[in-house]
Amino acid sequence: MTKKEQKNIITKHVINAVQKNFNLSEDFNDEEGHGYFTFAIEHEGNEFFFDMSRNDFSIISHKIRGEKLFNEAQQLEKELDEFIENEIAIVRIKEGII
């Protein structure tokens, strides 16, 4: 299996896992082709936008320091990062990807 095939398997798994386990208000999209997916999660009645890197699957919130709900966005960002890291480990074991 090539590295590109491995990356595609991991990407599909991560996106599906986030879709199933978080309340997405806007699904993953990559309209601009800048190397990241943009999506939104509804949490406690608020919508939070995030970017997920195509390379390392890291998460970045769109909220900036001082903005309302910044701390909540940071907490969700951390939760997503940990969740995705765990899902990558699961799919690597399942698919035999090193």
CB contact at 8 A, 54 and 63: no
Quote the percentage of the chain above a pLDDT of 70: 98
Convert the pLDDT of each residue in 72-85 to its tens digit: 999 999 999 999 99
Query: Measured between alpha carbons, how far is 15 from 59 in angstroms, rounded to an integer?
Result: 12
Query: Measured between alpha carbons, how far is 55 from 97 in angstroms, rounded to an integer?
Result: 16
pTM above 0.85, yes or no: yes
Domain residue limits, the chain: 3-95
Query: Measured between alpha carbons, how far is 10 from 57 in angstroms, rounded to an integer?
Result: 10
| Strand 24-29 relative to strand 46-53, pairing | unpaired
